[in-house]
């Protein structure tokens, strides 16, 4: 499981022009990809890492501050570009495997008390963010 995680001052995701998820104020925008070999064992580890990631102001985390997270599924994080010019998506989990794992990460974050907004799995989404810093890290489990 892989997450490109950005510290933001605000972020939103739209589907068909309608806002389906947003955070307003300091928080994290999480673009979450699932590898074809990922299992449910990765879920609590990813949720803990995201919630406790100390990249907010003052080296604090969402767990410390109560800051929100906007989680957007993104299979393209496992695009492979080693050959040619067209990415291969063979490392990404198929939707029927990825969706429950993405939903489980969101549920695990909420169980930890984190305020979480989301995109819509599999939808064509427009994601906007105001990156703070910018400060972006790759989180892998």
Q: pLDDT tens across 66-121, in order?
A: 999 999 999 999 999 998 889 999 999 999 999 999 999 999 999 999 999 999 99
Q: What percent of the chain has pLDDT over 90?
A: 96
Query: Is 135 designated active site?
Result: no
Structure tokens at 26: 């300091």
Query: Is 74 designated active site?
Result: yes
On whether the CB atoms of residues 33 and 3 are closer than 8 A, the answer is: yes
Closest-CA residue to 141 (of 113, 85, 101, 82): 101
pLDDT at position 84, please?
Answer: 86
pTM: 0.95
Structure tokens at 91: 């490392």
Q: Of these residues, 5, 9, 39, 75, which one is catalytic?
A: 75
Query: Is 75 designated active site?
Result: yes
Q: Of these residues, 39, 74, 81, 97, which one is catalytic?
A: 74
Cα gap 70→22, rounded to integer Å: 6
């Amino acid at each position: 499981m892989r997450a490109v995680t950005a510290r933001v001052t605000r972020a939103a995701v739209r589907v068909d022009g309608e806002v389906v998820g947003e955070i307003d104020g300091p928080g994290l925008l999480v673009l979450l990809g699932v590898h074809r070999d990922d299992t449910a064992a990765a879920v609590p580890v990813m949720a803990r890492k995201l919630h406790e990631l100390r990249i907010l102001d003052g080296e604090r985390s969402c767990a410390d501050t109560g800051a929100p997270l906007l989680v957007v599924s993104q299979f393209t994080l496992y695009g492979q570009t080693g050959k040619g010019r067209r990415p291969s998506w063979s490392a990404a989990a198929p939707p029927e495997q990825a969706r429950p794992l993405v939903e489980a990460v969101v549920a695990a974050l909420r169980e930890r008390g984190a305020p979480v907004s989301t995109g819509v799995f599999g939808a064509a989404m427009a994601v906007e963010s105001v990156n703070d810093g910018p400060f972006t890290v790759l989180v892998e489990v």
